[in-house]
């Protein structure tokens, strides 16, 4: 097990990177605690796989350092880094039995037969593969094969880190939930540092203690699922996490107060803005927007565009001067007809400058 530190890590696939867009990873600095469960979450192309390959040693970064327990491993080979990796698609030996597949990484490291047997049976039981240990892997379904891949990643207890790259892609939807909870349970049992890469927020939020959100080669926020929900560090995090994502509205700030379309809006942090220009926006999640009671005219006047049933609540889309504002209305509460006023909860409304949360110390990077 290891603490993993990335220092000013950069990578470009271009020979002579010049433009910002030439960088697949842009100066990442982050510490991952020994034994932590992390998810690396971000849209396709944001650099997740590049980062995993740099950590595992398959790719030499253009710049920066990788430290395992304080030791610089930037130039170490994948074998020297002692990492287990589980990929999107099963990597198994079809002609071997399930047992031999699980035992393979242990035997390869010279682990003694009794310990191999103990670990194989333990992992097989956790993944519910115990009744098929003598079967040939070739006969298994795609789900079964991917379970073996997971098992091979989890069998070794001496690894510095286990990395999962979208491991549930080929798994049947109803089994995904089961495997996700199993992985979480397993992490709690074995406490090896785990990094789980996904573009699926549900997978990230259910697996990880800390979620690292990436966009466009940068880490935009690291936090618990609650932190990402309650205090998005960047409008991207607000959009990407949550369903529907955060409302983002253009605003102006004068005298420490924000206005949207000329209407005053109270926020947590407008007072921290230093008047240094930039694109100013307000962010508020649909959960923290509500309709003012009929007859009240405080808040933002809106036109109701549509309402979508989402189980326990409805997602209502409203509009003010071509700006969409979404809100959640609990089941049983009335939705006004054509027009209404909406209120933004001041303690849940944040000001962003050029996408980043205004903290008073410049952008909240």
Q: Which stretches of the chain bind ligand ATP, using CB under 6 A?
A: 13, 24, 42, 44-50, 199
**Nearest distance from residue 59's CB to ligand ATP, in Å?**
9
C-beta of 165 vs 281, nearer to ligand ATP: 165
C-beta of 50 vs 269, nearer to ligand ATP: 50
In angstroms, rounded to a whole number, what is the distance separating the alpha carbons of residues 223 and 237?
11
**Nearest distance from residue 7's CB to ligand ATP, in Å?**
19
Q: Angle at Cα 355 formed by Cα 345 and Cα 15, nearest 5°?
A: 155
C-beta of 171 vs 329, nearer to ligand ATP: 171
C-beta of 122 vs 165, nearer to ligand ATP: 165
C-beta of 162 vs 197, nearer to ligand ATP: 197
Helix, strand and coil content of the chain, in percent to the nearest 5, comes to 30, 35, 40
**Nearest distance from residue 150's CB to ligand ATP, in Å?**
19
Residue of 192, 184, 234, 187 lying closest to 213 (CA atoms): 234
**Nearest distance from residue 99's CB to ligand ATP, in Å?**
32
**Nearest distance from residue 42's CB to ligand ATP, in Å?**
6
C-beta pairs of 206-212 under 8 Å, 24+ apart in sequence: 206/180, 206/181, 207/37, 207/39, 207/180, 207/183, 208/37, 208/38, 208/39, 209/36, 209/37, 209/38, 210/36, 210/37, 210/38, 210/39, 211/38, 211/39, 211/41, 212/30, 212/38, 212/39, 212/40, 212/41
C-beta of 26 vs 156, nearer to ligand ATP: 26
Residue for token pair 């035997």: 107
C-beta of 36 vs 47, nearer to ligand ATP: 47
State residue 272 phi and psi, 5-degree precision: -85, -10
Report the largest interatomic distance among the alpha carbons of the chain, rounded to a whole angstrom: 77
Contact 221, 213 (CB under 8 A): yes
**Nearest distance from residue 50's CB to ligand ATP, in Å?**
3
C-beta of 45 vs 139, nearer to ligand ATP: 45
Per-position DSSP letters for 7-58, written without gaps between them: EEEEE-SSSS--SGGG-SEEEEEEEE-TT-EEEEE--TTSSHHHHHHHHHTS
Contact 187, 37 (CB under 8 A): yes
**Nearest distance from residue 145's CB to ligand ATP, in Å?**
21
**Nearest distance from residue 217's CB to ligand ATP, in Å?**
7
Residue of 156, 234, 145, 148 lying closest to 194 (CA atoms): 156
Tell me if the bond preceding 179 is cis, omega within 30° of 0.
no
State residue 283 phi and psi, 5-degree precision: -125, 130
**Nearest distance from residue 65's CB to ligand ATP, in Å?**
19
**Nearest distance from residue 176's CB to ligand ATP, in Å?**
17
C-beta of 99 vs 207, nearer to ligand ATP: 207
Residue for token pair 């309650």: 230
Strand order in the sheet with 4-11: 25-32, 4-11, 63-68, 71-72
C-beta of 199 vs 285, nearer to ligand ATP: 199
């Amino acid at each position: 097990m290891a603490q993993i530190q990335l220092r000013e890590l950069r990578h470009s696939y271009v020979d002579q990177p010049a433009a910002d867009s030439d960088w697949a990873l842009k100066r990442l600095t982050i510490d991952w605690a020994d034994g932590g469960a992390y998810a690396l979450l971000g849209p396709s192309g944001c650099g997740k796989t590049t980062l995993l390959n740099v950590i595992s040693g398959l790719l030499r970064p253009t710049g920066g350092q990788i430290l395992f327990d304080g030791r610089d491993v930037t130039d170490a080979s994948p074998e020297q880094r002692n990492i287990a990796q589980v990929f999107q698609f099963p990597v198994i030996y079809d002609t071997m039995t399930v047992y031999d597949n699980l035992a393979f990484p242990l035997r390869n490291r010279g682990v003694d037969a009794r310990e191999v047997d103990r670990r194989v049976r333990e992992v097989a039981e956790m993944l519910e593969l115990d009744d098929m240990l003598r079967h040939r892997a070739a006969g298994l379904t795609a789900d079964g094969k991917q379970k073996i891949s997971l098992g091979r990643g989890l069998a070794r207890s001496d690894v510095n880190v286990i990395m999962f790259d979208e491991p549930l892609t080929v798994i049947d939807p109803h089994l995904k939930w089961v495997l996700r909870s199993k992985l979480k349970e397993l992490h709690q049992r074995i406490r090896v540092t785990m990094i789980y890469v996904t573009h699926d927020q549900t997978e990230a939020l259910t697996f990880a203690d800390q979620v690292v959100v990436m966009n466009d080669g940068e880490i935009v926020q690291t936090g618990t699922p609650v932190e990402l929900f309650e205090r998005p560090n960047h409008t991207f995090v607000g959009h990407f996490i949550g369903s529907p994502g955060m409302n983002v509205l253009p605003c102006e700030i004068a005298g420490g107060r924000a206005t949207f379309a000329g209407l005053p809006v109270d926020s947590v942090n407008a007072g921290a803005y230093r008047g240094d220009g930039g694109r100013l926006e307000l962010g508020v999640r649909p959960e923290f927007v509500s309709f003012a009671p009929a007859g009240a005219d405080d808040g933002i006047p809106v036109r109701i565009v549509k309402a979508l049933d989402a189980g326990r609540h409805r997602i209502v889309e409203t509009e003010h001067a071509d700006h969409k504002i979404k809100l959640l209305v609990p089941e049983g509460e009335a939705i006004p007809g054509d027009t209404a006023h909406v209120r933004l909860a001041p303690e849940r409304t944040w000001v962003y400058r050029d996408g980043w949360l205004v903290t008073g110390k410049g952008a909240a990077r």
